[in-house]
Amino acid sequence: MSHPLFDNLPRIIGHRGACGHAPENTLASIRKAAELGARFIEIDVTLTSDNVAVIQHDTGLNRCTNGKGPIILTPLEEVKKLDAGGWFSDEFKGETVPTLREAVDLIHELGLGLNLEIKPSRGWQVPTATQVCCELASYAPEDMPLLFSSFDPEALVIARDMMPDVPRGYLTETIFPDWKKRLDDLGCEALHCEKYFVTKEKVAEIKSAGYKLLVYTVNDPEMGKCFLDWGVDAIITDFPDRIGNIL
Ligand code: G3P
Ligand code: MG
């Protein structure tokens, strides 16, 4: 039987908030997604050197902040001093890298659902997933829809063991030939894969086997509509407004 979260999963999920419109993985990006009508967002979570879960995609700080070096070697106090918005546009100067807690508080306040992608620095899969689950267990509101995903099987195993009631998606780029075995081994109900590898036949295969399929990153509305017509459960997009408009 499918997890109840999937009964109400919106068909459009904002990627890194609404990262086509605002600096990815910031509170501004989360707010923008809500403003544009998204009801569910995807963000990436990783660790600082002092073991705090923060919202950041890359291992390094250079692309999305005015800092440099690996985030796993940087304490929260230093991470918090960085500007995470100015690289995107002047309008967003002063945005900071949110902690997971700040993001969860805002997501809950806005009434959104959360697809939390566990994105460990390489080698930090177990500590990252463990800390994320410990934190969520202590402060995530029970009524906040939550879906974990990760490219990393080790992180998915930790999430399964620590928060067994939270559904999980296995993130891949290609659709592996043994996708079903992998999902079953990890207890994942959903496959989240890259758009280039999605065909009508694959959608039918995955859906008829009883699994959920989410596709990223789909910014072309026609392509998004086509995937949804084929039976894809949700698409993850940088521009939730574009695809929302066409549906
Ligand atoms: O969760 C979908 C997508 O975010 C996976 O890739 O690199 O954007 O985190 P990435
Ligand atoms: Mg992601």
Instruction: Provide the residue ranges of all domains of the chain, joining segments of one domain with +.
Output: 4-244
- Predicted confidence (pLDDT) per residue in 178-205, tens digit: 999 999 999 999 999 999 999 999 999 9
Catalytic: 192?
no
170 C-beta closer than 6 A to ligand 1: no
Question: Taking 80 as the threshold, does the pLDDT of residue 48 lie above it?
Answer: yes
Ligand 1: does its nearest atom lie under 6 Å from the Cβ of 80?
no
Q: Is the CB of 29 under 6 A from ligand 1?
A: no
Contacts 24+ apart (CB under 8 A), 34-38: 34/110, 34/111, 34/112, 36/240, 36/241, 36/244, 37/240, 37/241, 37/244, 38/10, 38/12, 38/13, 38/14, 38/112, 38/240, 38/244
Give the ligand whose atoms come closest to the C-alpha of residue 59.
Answer: 1
Mean pLDDT over residues 171-176, rounded?
Answer: 97
Pocket test for ligand 1, best of 217, 232, 233, 237 (most atoms within 8 A of CB): 217
21 is an active site residue: no
Query: At residue 144, does pLDDT exceed 80?
Result: yes
**pLDDT band at 173, cuts 50/70/90?**
very high
Ligand nearest to the CA of 13: 1
Q: Do residues 209 and 233 make contact, with C-beta atoms less than 8 angstroms apart?
A: no
233 lines ligand 1 (CB under 6 A): no
For the domain spanning 4-244, the CATH number is 3.20.20.190
* pLDDT tens-digit readout, 199-228: 999 999 999 999 999 999 999 999 999 999
Q: Determine the average pLDDT of the residues in 30-36.
A: 98
* Average pLDDT across the chain, whole number: 97
Tell me the pLDDT tens digit for each residue of 84-135: 999 999 999 999 999 999 999 999 999 999 999 999 999 999 999 999 999 9
In one-letter notation, the amino acid at residue 152 is: D
Look at ligand 1, atom 2, and give the residue with the nearest C-alpha: 216
From the list 3, 15, 21, 108, the catalytic residue is 15
Closest of 1, 42, 40 to residue 24, by C-alpha: 42
Check residue 145 and give its pLDDT.
98
Q: Per-residue pLDDT tens for 54-86?
A: 999 999 999 999 999 999 999 999 999 999 999
Ligand with an atom nearest the CA of residue 214: 1
pLDDT at 172 over 90: yes
Q: Tell me how far the alpha carbon of residue 165 lies from the centroid of ligand 1, in angstroms.
A: 23
pLDDT of residue 244: 74
Q: How confident is residue 245, by pLDDT bands cut at 50, 70 and 90?
A: confident
Average pLDDT over residues 144-171: 98
The predicted structure's pLDDT at residue 147:
98
Ligand 1 center–CA 224 separation, angstroms: 16
pLDDT greater than 90 at residue 246 = no
| Pairwise CA distance, residues 242 & 219, whole Å | 8
For range 169-180, the mean pLDDT: 97
What's residue 247's pLDDT?
73
pLDDT at site 88: 98
